[in-house]
Amino acid sequence: MARMRDEIGAVDKEAPESVALVYPSPYRVGMSSLGYQTIYRSINDSNGRAAHRAFLPDDVGAWRQSRVPLLTYEKLRPVSDYPVIAFSVAYEAELAGMIETLELSGLAPLAQHRSPQDPFVLVGGPLTFSNPLPLAPFADGVLMGEADQSIHDVLGVVFGSASKADALRVLADHPHVFVPSLHGDVLPPIDKAEDATLPAFSQVITPHTELRNMFLIEPERGCHRGCTYCVMRRSTNDGMRIVKQERVLSLIPDHAKRVGLVGAATTDHPQIVDIVHALAESGREVGLSSLRADRLTDDLVSALARGGHRILTTASDGSSQRMRDAIQRRTSEAQLRQAAMLARRHGMKRLKLYVMVGLPGETDDDIDELVELGKELSSTIPLSLGVAPFVAKRNTPLDGYPFAGIPLVESRLRRLRRGVRGRVDVRATSARWAWVEYVLAQGGRAEGLAVLDAVRAGGRFSDWKGAFEALPPDRRRRSLVRPGDRLGRAS
Ligand code: SF4
């Protein structure tokens, strides 16, 4: 397979206990996931176990027509042959990919329709930090939170049990495993890995991802800040955990010419400037996720420029100062102006700013403030705005806030685009798909079952909308669709 020939670091291991590690999005997305890569290495490092990868095919329709069952990359073995299928799910909409990969494997997507001899379907990943309930009808077990260590507990129980039912009974007592068939809708708390297991880092480097040939490493995990819309805020797993510079640098292999430093708040790492300098001095290209505007100093931006950064990316999140204050996003206009100045001074081509629209309490005036700021920044350096509609997540202070409504979000986006036309490049996430994300972020089992209907109906937006709207109000976890506005306009 061409993709595997181009990889560095893939593990080709046979072992008595084998796991199909499935990412429910295409290869280029799955192989950019540090969590997925970390679990892949961790299982393969353990005695007597092997993990083999599989992904949602790039063209699901063509694969389905071919009638070839979904196969693992390492062994070309049908996924349904493995005793355990472990999914990593990052986003709500990937539930559709999970359903499709199960069907392409010849398995029933619903746990209750699978036999005791069918593989054990285990789910983990970032979605478990907020709301995994829509996964409940499809999973045998859900590993909540950081799975770095608990994956081994769970696999030990599953491989060591005489039957799936026995394994489920034992796992139901694990403090961080959700067993949908035994726990109802009561979720256990998320797990927190021991600091000694950090950092997560890439096992496989490949040219076939968005982050082409980039070695990813996580110099810190979590965040000590308190933005009220964010699942990774300080209350999650005790906030930020730092990995020392020496350890981070020691794990980067010589062959890695491009290094991505990823994490919720990498610029809050106390040694981040030194780490970036050290990487740039060794001739490597450096990428850095989650640049905080208040941490952008001349020294850091200069180091990033030396490491090959050509676009400086940061977030404003609120469209105005009033909105940023409301969501406790401690970024000021002055800091964003400074970011634009620094980017220009160090020869970068562009500033990219992430913003949310549709936050509770937002008005057109907030959008107009963003228009003025955007025009001002674009006179310093070319500016792109990456705009996403606000979606309330569970386990955040803004949990339960309604979606602003597709018409309202679209009208705010039109207002923004009109205001900055010819000056600022605006890229926005679809308001329609943000609504789908919202329904699942706030939903439960019934909304999960509706995804099955949507996938089987063809997976277009109209199929998702029809499936959600067909849910009887008493089966919805929250009242998502209101009379007079079938798509849930904000009050
Ligand atoms: S949005 Fe970023 S800075 Fe704010 S709490 Fe989340 S990870 Fe931290």
pLDDT at 478: 56
Mutate which of 231, 232, 314, 330 to test ligand 1's pocket (most atoms within 8 Å of Cβ)? 232
Q: How many residues does the chain have?
A: 491
pLDDT at 2: 83
Contact criterion met (CB below 8 Å) for 132 and 445: no
Nearest residue to 191 (alpha-carbon basis) of 142, 143, 146, 236:
146
Return the H-helix or E-strand segment holding 354.
Answer: strand 350-357
pLDDT at 483: 29
| Cα angle 330-425-461, degrees, rounded to a multiple of 5 | 90
Q: Is the CB of 264 under 6 A from ligand 1?
A: yes
pLDDT band, residue 348 (cuts 50/70/90): very high
How far is 114 from 116, CA to CA, in rounded Å? 7
Q: Is the CB of 233 under 6 A from ligand 1?
A: yes
Instruction: Work out the percent of the chain whose per-residue pLDDT is above 70.
Output: 97
Q: Which protein residue's CA is at the shortest distance from atom 3 of ligand 1?
A: 225
Nearest atom of ligand 1 to the alpha carbon of 233: 5
How far is 372 from 336, CA to CA, in rounded Å? 13
Q: Which residues contact 126 (CB under 8 A, 6 or more apart)?
A: 35, 89, 90, 91
Nearest atom of ligand 1 to the alpha carbon of 264: 7
- Tell me the mean pLDDT in the region 202-226: 94
Which is more confidently placed, 132 or 489? 132
Residue 489 reports pLDDT greater than 90: no
Q: Is the CB of 223 under 6 A from ligand 1?
A: yes
Tokens of 268: 């809050």
Q: What is the pLDDT of residues 156-189, one digit of tens each?
A: 999 999 999 999 999 999 999 999 999 999 999 9
Give the start-end residues of each E strand in 179-310: 214-217, 220-221, 241-242, 258-261, 285-288
pLDDT band, residue 379 (cuts 50/70/90): very high
Q: What is the pLDDT of residues 186-195, one digit of tens each?
A: 999 999 999 9
Q: Is the CB of 230 under 6 A from ligand 1?
A: yes
Q: Is the CB of 269 under 6 A from ligand 1?
A: no
Q: Is the CB of 265 under 6 A from ligand 1?
A: yes
Amino acid at 305: A
**Side-chain-side CA neighbours of residue 239 (13 Å):** 8
Q: What is the pLDDT of residues 264-315, one digit of tens each?
A: 999 999 999 999 999 999 999 999 887 999 999 999 999 999 999 899 999 9
Distance 227 CA to ligand 1 centre (A): 6
How far is 244 from 278, CA to CA, in rounded Å? 13
Q: What is the pLDDT of residues 388-425, one digit of tens each?
A: 999 999 999 999 999 999 999 999 999 999 999 999 99
- Tell me the mean pLDDT in the region 475-479: 58
Residue whose structure tokens are 């979904």: 70
How far is 349 from 97, CA to CA, in rounded Å? 36
Q: Is the CB of 262 under 6 A from ligand 1?
A: no
Tokens of 376: 């001002």
How far is 270 from 289, CA to CA, in rounded Å? 15
Please state, as a whole number, how many other Cβ atoms lie within 10 Å of the Cβ of residue 82: 24
Mutate which of 130, 218, 220, 230 to test ligand 1's pocket (most atoms within 8 Å of Cβ)? 230
Nearest atom of ligand 1 to the alpha carbon of 231: 6
Q: Is the CB of 89 under 6 A from ligand 1?
A: no
Nearest residue to 68 (alpha-carbon basis) of 102, 104, 99, 97:
104
How far is 11 from 45, CA to CA, in rounded Å? 10
Contact criterion met (CB below 8 Å) for 105 and 121: no
Q: Is the CB of 225 under 6 A from ligand 1?
A: yes
| Cα angle 361-375-297, degrees, rounded to a multiple of 5 | 90
Distance 231 CA to ligand 1 centre (A): 8
Q: Which residues contact 180 (CB under 8 A, 6 or more apart)?
A: 111, 135, 136, 137, 139, 140, 142, 445
Q: Is the CB of 232 under 6 A from ligand 1?
A: yes
* CA distances for 34 relative to 135, 216, 226, angstroms: 21, 7, 24
- The CATH classification of domain 2-183, taken from the options 3.40.50.280, 3.60.10.10, 3.65.10.10, 3.40.50.1820: 3.40.50.280
Contact criterion met (CB below 8 Å) for 386 and 354: yes
pLDDT at 486: 33
Tokens of 44: 């393969």
Q: Is the CB of 221 under 6 A from ligand 1?
A: no
Distance 329 CA to ligand 1 centre (A): 8
Q: What is the pLDDT of residues 8-54, one digit of tens each?
A: 999 999 999 999 999 999 999 999 999 999 999 999 999 999 999 99
Residue 209 reports pLDDT greater than 90: yes
Q: Is the CB of 359 under 6 A from ligand 1?
A: no
Mean of all residue pLDDT scores within the chain: 94
Q: CA dihedral in degrees (416, 418, 419, 425; nearest 10)?
A: 70
Distance 233 CA to ligand 1 centre (A): 6
Contact criterion met (CB below 8 Å) for 123 and 87: yes
Q: Is the CB of 227 under 6 A from ligand 1?
A: yes
Tell me, rounded to whole angstroms, the distance of Cα 192 from its chain centroid: 18
pLDDT band, residue 491 (cuts 50/70/90): very low
Nearest atom of ligand 1 to the alpha carbon of 234: 5
Q: Which residues contact 449 (CB under 8 A, 6 or more apart)?
A: 137
Residue 488 reports pLDDT greater than 90: no
Q: Which residues contact 220 (CB under 8 A, 6 or more apart)?
A: 240, 241, 242, 243, 263, 264, 265, 266, 268, 269
From the CA atom positions of the chain, what is the Rg in Å?
A: 23
pLDDT at 476: 67
Q: Is the CB of 240 under 6 A from ligand 1?
A: no
pLDDT-wise least confident of 39-43, 49-53, 80-84, 477-481 = 477-481
Return the H-helix or E-strand segment holding 438.
Answer: helix 431-441
